[in-house]
Amino acid sequence: MLKAILIALSLIAAAPVALAQTWPAKPVRIVVPFPPGGGTDIGTRIVAQKLQEAFSQSFVVENKPGAAGIVGTEYTAKSPPDGYTFMMGNIGTHAINVSLYKKLAYDPVKDFAPVSMVADLPLLLLVHPSVPANSVKELIALARSQPGKLNFSTSGAGGSMHVAAELFKSMAGVDMVHIPYKGGAPAVADLIAGQVPLSFATVLETIQFVKAGKVRALAVTNNRRSVALPELPTIAEAGLPGYQSISWLALFAPAGTPRDIVNRVSSETVRILKISDVKERLLGQGAEPIGSTPEELAATLAADMAKYAKVIRESGYKPE
């Protein structure tokens, strides 16, 4: 009996090693907790294509939008930790939601294995061409003259765009009304159509519309100018000193995913982000490629969770 127990234990211990050695033996999913066409989706598809080439196996992007990314993130957290499910999270799903929702169905630290930071996503403050404001200062003046009458769209309540907008409202002393959408793409679509006068959205999902003149970009939310739109000032430069808010994309796996698989995907992602055509595609869309070890991503996540907990607490925002 003792011999049988020892054999069983050795087989259990060897299982993760065997899995890592044969992985990937079937298609791998990368869950995107937002609709197609948004910044997270666009960045994921660029990386997924190269992972597919690197591992000679399909990396399928699976969109599971809803509730500020909560639906797809919870789905990933509850997926088998076998190396066949990853997700492209962002600052909203993993650093902001935990401070907004008291009954969040997942823990961004305990339920996930960090894989690699992928890219910084600067956000833009955008207006419809019909809005009589050509600068941040003019927009602030307009909003102050019409308290509670200017609507703004974002990718969803509690997301990075919404937090950026709440920070803007607080620092500028303006009253504007939030119109949340189920992703960045529909939020921008209604801005283009003139259904909402202004929006906060990523450079990645809006740069083509800015260049086509369908929307007007007033400023970037980062503390430095965007590589893709270098002529555009930061909000801090344009009228709100000290303002900064940014999003990022990062790969995560369900907690318990074999460490060898996590390390392989992390190393390959870092390599991919250094490839010239990948860098050019991301930078051209306004995403700034990074790449990191799992440990570096975990440290970034911890720092941003603390930062945005403070921002949310001071803003007094509570999701409806």
- pLDDT tens digit sequence for 203-228: 888 999 999 999 999 999 988 898 88
Closest to 154 measured CA to CA, from 131, 177, 121: 177
Q: How high is the pLDDT of residue 37?
A: 84
Is the pLDDT at 20 greater than 70? The verdict is: no
- pLDDT tens digit sequence for 222-267: 888 988 899 999 999 998 999 988 889 999 999 999 999 999 999 9
Beta strands at 59-63 and 28-32: parallel, antiparallel or unpaired: parallel
Per-position b or e across 244-279, b if 16+ CB within 10 A of its CB: ebbbbbbbbbbeebbeebbebbbebbbebbeeeebb
Is the pLDDT at 271 greater than 90? The verdict is: yes
Q: How high is the pLDDT of residue 183?
A: 81
Is the pLDDT at 312 greater than 70? The verdict is: yes
pLDDT band at 66 (very low <50, low <70, confident <90, very high): confident
- Average pLDDT across the chain, whole number: 90
Q: Domain 26-120+246-315 in CATH: superfamily?
A: Bordetella uptake gene, domain 1 (3.40.190.150)
Closest to 117 measured CA to CA, from 155, 158, 89: 89
Q: Domain 122-238 in CATH: superfamily?
A: Periplasmic binding protein-like II (3.40.190.10)
Residues of the chain with CATH 3.40.190.10: 122-238
Which whole number is the average pLDDT over 43-57? 96
Residues of the chain with CATH 3.40.190.150: 26-120+246-315
Contacts of 235 (CB under 8 A, 6+ apart): 125, 136, 168, 219, 220, 221, 243, 244
CA distance 20 to 264: 9
Q: How high is the pLDDT of residue 198?
A: 97
pLDDT band at 1 (very low <50, low <70, confident <90, very high): low
Is the pLDDT at 12 greater than 60? The verdict is: no
Q: How high is the pLDDT of residue 275?
A: 96
Which whole number is the average pLDDT over 177-204? 92
Is the pLDDT at 8 greater than 60? The verdict is: no
Q: How high is the pLDDT of residue 287?
A: 87
Contact 240, 168 (CB under 8 A): yes
Q: Which residues pair with 66 in a beta bridge?
A: none
Is the pLDDT at 11 greater than 90? The verdict is: no
Separation in Å, CA 197 to CA 11, 238, 245, 278 = 61, 19, 21, 33
pTM: 0.80
CA distance 193 to 195: 6
CA distance 26 to 77: 20
- Among the residue ranges 49-58, 111-120, 209-218, 311-320, the one predicted with the least confidence is 311-320
pLDDT band at 2 (very low <50, low <70, confident <90, very high): low
